[in-house]
Structure 1
Amino acid sequence: MAPEVSDVMYDQMKNNFGNASATNFYGRQARKILDESRHTIAQSINCKDSEIIFTSGGTESDNTAIISTALSRKDKGKHIITDATEHEAVLKPMAYLESIGFDVTYLKPNENGEISAKQVADALTDDTILVSIMYGNNEVGAVNPISEIGELLQDHQAYFHTDAVQAFGTEEIDVKATHIDLMSTSAHKLNGPKFIGFLYENEDIHIPSFIKGGDQETKRRAGTENVPAIAGFAQAVKLADEAEKKRRRESYYSFKQRIEKHLSDQHIKYEVNGPKGPKALNHVLNLYLPGVDRGVLLTRLDLEGFAVSGGSACTAGSLEPSHVLVAMFGADSPKIQDSIRISFGKDNTMDEIDTFSKKLIEIVSDLTN
């Protein structure tokens, strides 16, 4: 977390213990912080305050958007469109819906990991009730044509959901201009706290509360609001203003270029999995290193103090191959076993990138000679 975020959260935990649903003085204090935080976050994506629903994070937001939409609209159809590179927080709800009779179409990405609006158009049927396409991919950084897909669905009954967990905080997102109906986020991707996120829900659509209980969040998400975390989330959003987002995008892209230059200068064989150039989520760099055992490389880097993964952190403890790379290249591709995922944060420096690159080259050279 950013220090400014943890400072705000500590202050709230220490001095503002009221329940935001209570009508007493302490409750009103908490409600004021809740309302101000909601306003800050709503402004960042160009929506109304009332369209922000606070959740426990991206997984809950995805599950709510997907399952609640499907179950509440099944009388209009049982067809859903998504893509094969989605996070498990989308794919597993889809699998659940398939198990109870829904029909899910999984679009196959191109070699850069991207989905096209034409693919969505070709898959649409009169029974399609939901299209869920991620904003940007968490493993290879591919950015999908969200605005084109949103425009495409303007004259269709399907709701449009996007998992923007990786994009929110680095990309400029306008939910109205892109015609997004539902959008999932998580605070920890922009130096906020874990365990808090929001679901944007367009006021023109209505889906039932996924978690049953009290009437919090105007009856759309039961459970006492986590005011300290919400205040921390809002502070993280303030820090990631337009100028800071631009700085981060440029910084991350320069990191990618520097690593690639070091590898090329030392004649290390590699390929980038995902989009080339700046039009990507540049805090992610996925590298194919032919003939290098991923597990050994990750272990060696870890012992040197570098935290690098073989895929999504949510499945990092698994030996299963990356489903994203399988979708992009096929299950038999050597890229499945010989690729690593490097990610950057706002506090990384070019000196750290140079140190990492030197160690990466040293280990790769050792493993391939």
Structure 2
Amino acid sequence: MTSQNSGGEREKVASKLPAALRQELKTRAAQLGIDMQDAVAQAVEQWRARPADSNPTIDTSGAESWNTWLPVGLYDTFKNDCADRGISFVQGLAQAIRVWIDSHNVSLTALAIPRYTRRIIVCNQKGGVGKTTIAAGTGQAIALGLPASTGASKLPALPGLRTLLVDYDPQGHLTSQLGVKQIPPGEESLVTHMVDRDRVAGSLLDQVVAIEPDHFEGRLSLLPSSFDAFLLDSRLGSVRGPRETSLQRALAPLEEHFDVIVIDAPPNLGLAMDAGLYYGHRRKNEAPGASGVLVPVEAEDSSADAYSMLDSQIRTVSLDYEVDIDRLGLVVNKFDKRKGYVATHSLDNWQSLGTPPVVSIVPDLKEQREAVHVKQPLLMYAPTSIQAQRMREIRRRLS
């Protein structure tokens, strides 16, 4: 198939690539300021121009599904070249990328600072606190970007970033609120890519849906929920290999297509949540606070109990798997001071924690409920509302 691209007509190419090699390619292309697609096209042309015996043999065992786009006609030519040289297309592509990386050296300082896709896990063990509202609104604000502040603070502008919302909650509220259908049982989804990797035939990117591309300039997308997600915890129990990395493995092929991934996590303490927390851990040489957990809470006592359970689970995952999981902040959601002492006292308690900080206080107003009713993004339906302003505040605090 072909698709329009800024570089002209290109063909979508489905292949496989070792995860480590894919990450090296992504890092090197970013360091050189080269689009990933252009880097792969250069790699293929460079490989074709080299003698066959000068290309290294790459270990492609465990290679995972990966998509790229090549100029029209180059795929067929490259595939024929691989056949002539007696190697598979997967091996040929891996060789080409390895050669390109090795021939495009950058300084050791730059190599030590890989550029990761930011991962924001919106979670709490208590249902009804508005996780979906905060995940959706934060993602929308990141995709739209922020203008420079003209006030006394004179804050800089923040560009709109390619943002993927992931509905990881089997209830599918995020998917429904944005007017998208859940993925039917048995079809390829995030769940199948987590637990049935040997059986999936397509790319998870094929399931991604653009959200109001005219309004968000093509920068906001959604990976819908699946009805199969209700069985995810039990199915994770039978996964071969480390279960905690299952979400990371499934989403890794999507990371090169997005600057930020926002996860609307399920309200439970199971294996799926362990995998979600692990996905947000700080990776090697990633800046502290770039990725981690964002926790919506309410100004009432039961929300504090739920947060204590989540904090315990974060600590357990961190210790069990020897990773750092940054707490990006708390969002006090659905706040209504008319509820009196309980609400105001609870807010004071949240703010007194200090770490993680309260990054925003979102009032309980009608605009969000109306946006859900008409199945539109809040920042599109009511862009000047107080709730929309709070979403932009969260974006600013997380920048």
TM-score computed with the length of structure 1 as normaliser: 0.29
Question: Whose radius of gyration is greater, 1 or 2?
Answer: 2
Structure with the bigger RCO (C-alpha within 8 Å, sep 6+) is 1
